[in-house]
Structure 1
Amino acid sequence: MKSRKETMQGVAVVTGAATGIGAAITERLADKGMHLVLVARDGARLEAAAKRLHAEYGARVSTLALDLSQQSAPARLAKWLTGSGTEVDVLVNNAGASLMGPVANSDPARLRGLVDLNAGAMAELTALLLPAMVARGRGAVVNIASTGAYAPVLAPVRTHPLRMWPLMRPRKRSCSPSPRRCGPRRRRPGCGSWRSAPAPPTLR
């Protein structure tokens, strides 16, 4: 059993806890002495993770196999926690997924499930568990997100047969009385008319 440098009290619920970032987070929390509730779709992996955390850190670990992309899942998790008498001190919203490919070729049901998991479940589960933390005067909510949300998406422009910029480029027109209505346009020197800004270089 590994020694603990710092001890914390309470229970942490970690979603997407079976593998990857979620599994790493559970190890850090177990090392600090927290009891854990692991939530993920794969029950077998959850049980294996629970045994390992108990053996290495002596943590008390509960598991719940649950697909949080289902709309009723957050409420089921909250009900399960209440029924087991579990007071949650830390909620880690780590469960998430991604889909690759054009939207036109995607399964609408899978897209809806993606949004329900990445955004809906996180928001609903937080709203379900946060009030008790506020009432007790202690607790924490940690939301894990991908840096992909902040990355520019250029591949569809490069590979799509249609050139998107010419379709979006504004037509030349005279300026309205209010310059702020003209959008991203530049005033021609010595003239009251306006022209469109130059198109960006073609992506290759």
Structure 2
Amino acid sequence: MKLNLGCGRDIKPGFVNLDYMPLPGVDVVADLERCKDTKLPFENNTFDDILASHLVEHITNILPLMEELHRIAKPDGLLMVKIPYGSTDDAFTDPTHVRQYFRGSFGYFSQPFYWRADYGYRGDWKPIRIELHLFDHFKEMPYDEQMLAVDTYRNVVREMVVYMQAVKPIREPLANLQIKPEIVFV
């Protein structure tokens, strides 16, 4: 099964389309901000694929949501997150965006990153690939120069697409278990 989170009007055939508004084509109405108090209406280990396109930047309580998504994902299930890159104007322009994300942000949805502190988060997503969609004038640069530009300037990356895999059972919070994802410029 596949889940399309925060689908809005982007109804995808073959997916369970979830939104907080009962729009035409929405299969499930649920408030993703309330995952700390209310579970999503799905059984454990239900979904092979979860899509969150331009959603997580709108969520204030992201850790409860990511933990709940981990619960409903099958072991090794994939989560694809599309998001404006944190240092692009798009990340700040929309007043409903509550947080900016960068290429290192998604490791914090895995247990190995909590070796220093415990915030009560019990999900474990292994980031496996990060695509950085560059603005055109950065596409022809050598890789090292692209990476330097991403880390130094604003408006280098237009959009980030992160692919994560559900790890079940969750790993220990040990720094040596951290895995660096593949970084690809698109």
TM-score (norm 2): 0.39
Q: Which has the higher contact order (CA 8 A, sep 6+)?
A: 2
| Greater fraction of residues in helix | 1
| Greater fraction of residues in strand | 2
Q: Highest CA radius of gyration, 1 or 2?
A: 1
TM-score (norm 1): 0.36
